[in-house]
Amino acid sequence: MTPKSPAPDSGLTELDAGPAPTRRALISVSDKTGLVDFARGLDRLGWALIASRGTAGALAAAGLAVTDAADHTGSPPMLGHRVVTLHPRLHGGILADRDDPAHRADLEAHGIDPIDLVVVNLYPFADRPGPETIDVGGPALVRAAAKNCADVGVVTDPADYAGVLAELEATGELSAATRSQLARRAFALTAAYDAAIAAWLDETDPGETSADPAPPPDPAPGETRPDAAPAPGPTLSPTRADPGPDGAFPPAIGLTLERASELRYGENPHQRAARYRRPGRPGFWDGVVQHGGLALGYLNLLDAAAAWGLVQDLGPDPAAVIVKHANPCGAAAAATLASAYDRAYRCDPRSAFGGIVAANRVIDSAVAEAMAAAAQADVVIAPGYAPGAVERLTARRQNTRLLQAPADCQPPPAPVSPPLAPLAPPAPVSAPPGPAPDSVQPPPGPSTVVRSLGPDGADLLVQDAPRFDSDPADWTVVTARRPTESELADAVFAWRVCAHTASNAVVLARDRTAWGIGAGQQNRVEAGLLAAARARGRAAGGACASDGFYPFGDGIEAAADAGAAVVVQPGGSVNDETVIAAADRLGLAMVFTGERQFRH
């Protein structure tokens, strides 16, 4: 790029008016994709090439004239190549303000040549975290060039090579707008890189940081093996915000998420959306395979995640869940997946239209036939599809998105349901254990949940991730009547479904089937009335679950009117005694979980 006009008394003949000065590019890359072609283009335009040792070797092998950075600085690599590009002859040439006479004088006094373009990408720390893959020289070069973007271009992504080269060929220099945009990308890269290192240190035992997994062979700062993966991309959201030793959240949270995919649209068609992930850590959705249908949108992913999380929480037996607008409108576990789907669908057929179906077993022909005959789903997610199932499910509506969960989320072997432990005084209650260890489990998630606060998104709320693992063994029977084994099993099932339903939430269930779900209501009584209206008596003799405590006896009366035999709720109201008295008067059993499970 052509430097800015020098001050008239600078004394630097190379930058004075006259023959065009030599333009120099400093190159030190880990990912060598497109490197040789880009360097050939610069060479063709008359640029001098300076490169760190590994990059210089690659360019020399391609027949290009290149100066090794060590020869340019006159200083050999030090400390096992930890110090190569950290040198004044490089950083001075990058950071000098070409319009500042004092800077120009310093360059002349120290024999420093200006550097006009810096091409750097970083050690792939996320792939092989450890002290020796923490790049120091590379980020220093990137930040220096980005700081001085008024004079220097900085390229950190091979995807930008073609555009940069085309602009240099067309105009002889990079525009101020291009340099500014490249600098913005550079700072986003180093911010993400540092955040990834901070997150790794958060998760690493202090005694483990001295060991490194297979350090790169003979590296120099800013480069590693030619086949290494690129460094993290732009950042958007926190990776980690675990409480520290004192129990407090940290004073700062590193932002490090990279864009994984563009989505069809956001919550509404006029909104854009994308899926992001933690750099270098492909998650559950990266392993999902889509078998036909339209591209996924924001709500498709949101609802599919809700459905998949709930279906994995319903125990080891075959289970099916239908979700609409992020809330379950059907959930059941049964001896066969076809039976579970049929029950889940019959909970609320109207809401099931255009919903999301999740199953914890491979969709076989019987299930596919039942689904094809019912209300068409927008999305189906399951561990797999038997031969012919995909064709049957798409025959009616080709737009249906059929998603297959990653290979490590395969169905468990045929389970044997564990018996209920005998119920005997004193409370707490014994209950069935959670899902068997070999059952399908939801993918591990971050330890915190982050939500944008306010219309401008400038503020974020951070909290611990919700837990859906309340142990029934810790529940307490608070009424004179204790639940029977079948009532307790219904209570456990209803409580799990309720945990995945937006507050205020009430669930009516019997025989491991949610027959009535009241979600997102402003008061608990109306949530119960909505659940009862949808259950239409089918939950009689079963359980009523509430995600929060009942503040008054009217909610218990509504549960009794719906036919519930047992109520499961957190407890903790100042009116608990009145509520317990109402349950006793109505002949209900009631258990307190001791843990609220709001979900807003």
Active-site positions?
147, 325
Distance, CA of 315 to CA of 333 (rounded, Å): 8
Contact in structure between 195 and 203 (CB atoms under 8 Å) = no
Q: For residue 277, which phi and psi values (nearest 5 degrees)?
A: -145, 165
Bridging pattern class, strands 274-277 and 258-262: antiparallel
- The closest of 440, 428, 505, 438 to 466, measured between CA atoms, is 505
Distance, CA of 590 to CA of 569 (rounded, Å): 8
Q: Six-digit token pair at 586?
A: 């109505």
Distance, CA of 239 to CA of 200 (rounded, Å): 10
Give, in degrees to the nearest 5, the angle at Cα 456 between 452 and 462.
20
Indicate the residue type of 269.
P
* DSSP one-letter code for 374: S
Q: How far is CA 15 from the centre of its chain?
A: 49
Q: Six-digit token pair at 406?
A: 């990653």
Distance, CA of 476 to CA of 567 (rounded, Å): 12
Q: Six-digit token pair at 454?
A: 């306010």
C-beta neighbour count of 109 within 10 angstroms: 9
Distance, CA of 401 to CA of 28 (rounded, Å): 44
Distance, CA of 487 to CA of 291 (rounded, Å): 40
Q: What is the 3-state secondary structure (H, E, C) of 11-49?
A: CCHHHCCCCCCCCEEEEECCCCCCHHHHHHHHHHCCCEE
Indicate the residue type of 161.
Y
Contact in structure between 506 and 562 (CB atoms under 8 Å) = no
Distance, CA of 397 to CA of 374 (rounded, Å): 12
Q: Where are the beta strands (DSSP E) in 352-400?
A: 356-359, 379-382
Contact in structure between 358 and 320 (CB atoms under 8 Å) = yes
Indicate the residue type of 27.
I
Q: How far is CA 511 from the centre of its chain?
A: 35
Helix axes 88-95, 137-147, angle to 10 degrees: 20
Distance, CA of 472 to CA of 428 (rounded, Å): 8
